[in-house]
Structure 1
Amino acid sequence: MTLDPDITATSPERPLAISNLLFFVAVLVFAMVVVGGITRLTESGLSITEWKPISGTIPPLTQADWERAFDLYKQTPQYLEVAGPAGMTLSGFKFIFFWEWVHRLLGRIIGVVFFVPVIWFAWKRAIPKGFGWRLLALFVLGGLQGAVGWFMVMSGLEGRTEVSPYRLSAHLLFALFLFAALIWTALDLRQLAANRDARPARLTGWGAIALVTLFVQLMLGAWVAGFRAGYVSNTWPAMDGRLVPDGIDWSHGAGFALTHDPFLLHFMHRWWAWVVVAFLVLFARKVRVVEGARAASIAIHSAFGTQILLGILTVLSGIAIWLAVLHQATGALLVAATVWGAHKLGEHAS
C-alpha cells in the first residue's frame, strides 16, 4: 500500500502519523487491560482508597507514608473481613498496592500520551477533516473510563469485601470498547493516508453480528470474574460430571439466576464460547475473500483458537493466575482481530 504524496508531503494533514499515535495508545490500553486482570486476580483493586489524579502519581516514599496508606486500607471491609483475618502484613499490602498503582499510572500515561500529541496536531491543523470530533470523543471515552474505574472501586470501600461484579464488567467492557474504537479510527486514518478520497469504513451486518456475539461473551466473562464463578468447577467439558451443573439456584427466578448464580454464569460462559466460534468462523470466511484481508482472517482464527484453549486450561488449573491473565489478554487480542476484520469488510461497503 503506497501513501498519497499529496497528503504526506504537501498537505498539513497527517493521517498516518495520527494513525500511528492511536495504535500506540491502543497498545497502552491493552497493557492496562492486562494489568487490570492481574489487579483483579491478586485482589489489589481496593488497596488505594483515595482518588488523587495528580498527587496520586507518586507512590508512598517513606515508612510513614506506607503506614498511612496501610491504615486507610485497614478501614475497608475487605481488610476487616478477609485480608486482616488472613494475616496481611505491610509487605503484603505493598504487593497489592503496587499492582493497583501501576494500573492507575497506566491510565494517567494514556491520557498524556493521547492528549499532548493531539493538541499539537490540532495546532498544526494536521487533523483530517471529520476526524477532530472522533479524536475528541476518544479522549472523552478515556476520561469516562477512569471515572468508571473509580466508581467501581467505590463499590468495594463500603459494605462489600470486593467490588461490584456489574461495575467490574462495565469497567472492563468500557476499556475494550475504547480499545476497539482506537483501532477502528486508526485504520480509517491509515486508509485515508493511502487514498485521500477514501471514506471511513462502515460497520456491516456481519461485522455487527460478530462484535455483538463477542460482546456477550466478554460480558459473561466479566461476570464470571466478578462472581468468582470460575472456581465452581475445575473439570471440562462437563462440570463435575454433569453437562448442566448441580447447584444452580433458581429460587429467585430465572432472571436472577442468569445474572447472579455462579454455576449458571460459568455454564453460559463455557457454551456461549462455541456460539462465538461458529459466528467468527463464518465471519472470518467473509473477511478472507476481501482483497488484502487474508491476514485479518488468519488473526481472527488464531485469536479465538488460542482463547478457547486458554479458557479450558484456566478452568483445569483451578484458575491459575498466569493462565487467567493470558486468557483476558487474548480476549482483548480477539477484539482487535475482530475489529480489524469488520473494518476490512466495511472498507468495501462504505
Structure 2
Amino acid sequence: MVQTFRNPVLTSIRSLRRTNANPRITLNHTPSLRATFSTTGFAAVQALRSGSPLAQKRLLSNLSRRKPSFDPRFFSSNASQSVTAGLPILSPPPVGIWLLASSGLVFAVIVVGGVTRLTESGLSITEWKPVSGILPPLSRAQWEEEFDKYKLTPEFKLMNHSISLDDFKRIFYMEWGHRILGRIIGLAFVLPLGYFALRKSLTATMPKNLFGMALLIGAQGALGWYMVKSGLEDSLMETPGAVPRVSQYRLAAHLGTAFVLYAGMFYTGIATLMDWRYAKAGTWSGLKGSDAQWQAVLDNPAVRRFARYSKALAALVFVTALSGAFVAGLDAGLLYNEFPLMGGRLAPPADELFSPEYAKAQDKSDLWWRNIFENPTTVQFDHRCLAITTYACTALMFAAVRSPALKTALPPLTRRMVTSAFAMANIQVLLGISTLLYLVPVPLAALHQAGSVALLTTVMHLIVSLRRPGVAARAWRQALRTSKAQTH
C-alpha cells in the first residue's frame, strides 16, 4: 500500500528537462528533490544520472500511466513536507472485518445458548473448569463419572431420573458445545486484538473500548457459571412445586451482556469500514460527491431528531429482548398460547397479574416488582406489550421515512436500514406468535431468539448510518484532498 505519488517525481523531471539542468548536479545539491524520490524515485535517479533523453522519455511515459495511490507521506497542507507523524492512526479494513467476524461468533453463541436452554441441557455440566473442561469425557469411566455428578442435581432427581447414559451424553454435548464456543470467541477476539494493538492499527479511541470488550468476554464466562449454579442448588428440593431451572435474573443478565457485547463489536466494525471508505473516497452512508456533504445532512434538525429516535428504538429492542429472557427463564411461553387475546380477553385479570402470592415482604411492598419479574403471567403480558410497542415504533419510523421531506433529507443507507428494520420486525412478530401458538417448539423458539439479534443488528446499522466520520477519517480525508489539490 505504501507507494509514492507520481506527481512530485513527474513534475521534477519535467522541470529539469525544460530548464536543461544537469541531472547530476541538481540531484546532488537539492535535498528537497532527493526527498521527493522514494520507491519510484530510484528509477528516476537512474534516468537523471544517465543523462539519456531516451531513458528520461521512457520514465515520463511510465509515470504518466501510473495511478496515484493512498500514501500518507504526501498528506500535508504543505506539499513539500511529510506529515505522517502528524496524522492520527486510521484503522484499516482488516480491523473492521475482524470485529464483524467476532460479532458473528457472538450471534452464534446467543443462538446456541438459546437451544441449550430450550433442550434443558444447561445443567448437565455441574462444574466450571475453564481450562481442563475444554475436553469432554473420552472414556466410559469418565462418562460414568460425569453422569454420577449429574445424578446429584435437583434436575435429575425431580425431572430426569429415568434418563440413560446416552440421553445424558446428548444434553452434555449441547452444553459443552456452548461453553467451547464461548472459549473460541475469547481467543478469536483477544489474539487479533493484541496483534492489531502491537501493529498500531487501532484508532485513538479503539484500544480502551476493545480491551473493555475483552474483559466483558471473560466476565461472560463467570456470569454463565453463576447462572448455571443457581439451577444446581439443593434448596430447590425443599421448595414445594419448584422446577429445577436457572434464575431468570441471572439468565437475563447473561443474555443482556451478550447483546451488549454483540452490539459493541458490530457497531465498531461497521464504523471502522465506513471511516476507511470515507477517508479513501469521500463517500458516507451512500452519499457521493462533496466530502463534507454529511455535515449539512447531520445539521438538519429533522435528521437530528430522527437520529435520537433511532437510538430510542435500539434501547426498546434491547429491553424487549431482555423481557424475553424472563419469559424463557420462567417458561412463561407455555401459558396463554393464543394471540392477541389472553384467556379470551386483552389482558388477564388484575388479581392474576399482581397476585399477592409472589410478594415476600410482610407489608406486601414488593408486590409490584416481584410480579413483574417473577409471575409468569405478568412476564408474558409485559413481553407482549413491549413487542407490540417495538413493532409499532418501527412501523411509524418506516412510515415517517416515506414522507417527502424526510426522504430527501436522510442518506440512502439510512433509508435502506429503516426498511430492513421494518421487514425484520415483521418477521420477528410472526416468529413470536408462531412460537406461542405452537407451544414453544425448539426450532421456532431458537429462530425467534435469533430474530431478536437480527432486529438489533438492523437498528444498530441504522444508528451507524447517521454517525459522523471519525476524527482520524476526517483528518486523513482532508490530507488526501489537500495533497491532490497541490499535485494537480
| TM-score, structure 1 as length reference | 0.91
The equivalent of 2:94 in structure 1 is 17
Alpha-carbon deviation of 1:13?
Answer: 5.2
Against the structure 1 CA distance between its residues 59 and 23, is the aligned structure 2 distance closer, same or farther, given a 3 Å change threshold? same
Instruction: Give 1:274's aligned amino acid.
Output: I
Larger relative contact order (Cα-Cα within 8 Å, sequence gap ≥ 6)? 1
CA distance in 2: counterparts of 1:101 and 1:14, whole angstroms: 36
Contact 2:278–2:469 (8 Å) recurs in 1? no
Aligned-residue RMSD, C-alpha: 2.6
Determine if the alignment matches structure 1 residue 239 to structure 2 residue 322. Answer: no
**Correspondence 1:324-343 to 2 at 5 A:** 324-343=445-464
The equivalent of 1:5 in structure 2 is 70
Alpha-carbon deviation of 1:281?
Answer: 2.7
Alpha-carbon deviation of 1:218?
Answer: 1.2
CA distance in 1: counterparts of 2:271 and 2:339, whole angstroms: 41
The equivalent of 2:189 in structure 1 is 114
Determine if the alignment matches structure 1 residue 126 to structure 2 residue 231. Answer: no
What secondary structure does 1:347 align onto? Answer: coil
The equivalent of 2:39 in structure 1 is none
The equivalent of 1:90 in structure 2 is 165
CA distance in 1: counterparts of 2:250 and 2:467, whole angstroms: 32
The equivalent of 1:228 in structure 2 is 331
**Correspondence 1:176-255 to 2 at 5 A:** 176-196=259-279, 204-246=307-349, 247-251=352-356, 252=359, 253-255=367-369
The equivalent of 2:256 in structure 1 is 173
| TM-score, structure 2 as length reference | 0.66
The match for 1:75 among 152, 163, 166 is 152
Alpha-carbon deviation of 1:291?
Answer: 3.4
CA distance in 2: counterparts of 1:64 and 1:240, whole angstroms: 51
Highest Rg: 1 or 2?
A: 2
Alpha-carbon deviation of 1:293?
Answer: 2.3
What secondary structure does 1:61 align onto? Answer: coil
Alpha-carbon deviation of 1:204?
Answer: 4.5
Contact 1:204–1:349 (8 Å) recurs in 2? no
CA distance in 2: counterparts of 1:175 and 1:19, whole angstroms: 19
- Structure 2 unmatched ranges of 5 or more: 1-68, 76-83, 237-243, 285-293, 299-303, 360-366, 472-488
CA distance in 1: counterparts of 2:210 and 2:369, whole angstroms: 39
CA distance in 1: counterparts of 2:142 and 2:348, whole angstroms: 48
CA distance in 2: counterparts of 1:157 and 1:258, whole angstroms: 25
- Matched-pair identity in %: 37
Matched residues, number? 343
The equivalent of 2:245 in structure 1 is 162
Determine if the alignment matches structure 1 residue 347 to structure 2 residue 468. Answer: yes
The match for 2:419 among 280, 298, 303 is 298
Contact 2:93–2:272 (8 Å) recurs in 1? yes
Contact 2:196–2:202 (8 Å) recurs in 1? yes
Alpha-carbon deviation of 1:15?
Answer: 2.7
User: Deviations for 1:130-170, whole angstroms, at most 9, x for unmatched residues?
Assistant: 21112111111111111111110111111341110110011
The equivalent of 1:28 in structure 2 is 105
Determine if the alignment matches structure 1 residue 52 to structure 2 residue 129. Answer: yes
CA distance in 2: counterparts of 1:104 and 1:326, whole angstroms: 20
Alpha-carbon deviation of 1:207?
Answer: 2.8
Instruction: Give 1:298's aligned amino acid.
Output: T
Instruction: Give 2:211's aligned amino acid.
Output: L
User: Deviations for 1:102-147, whole angstroms, at most 9, x for unmatched residues?
Assistant: 1001100001111111111122222222211121111111111111
Instruction: Give 2:125's aligned amino acid.
Output: I
Determine if the alignment matches structure 1 residue 256 to structure 2 residue 370. Answer: yes
Which moves more between the two structures, 115-124 or 247-256?
A: 247-256
What secondary structure does 1:133 align onto? Answer: helix
CA distance in 2: counterparts of 1:157 and 1:344, whole angstroms: 45
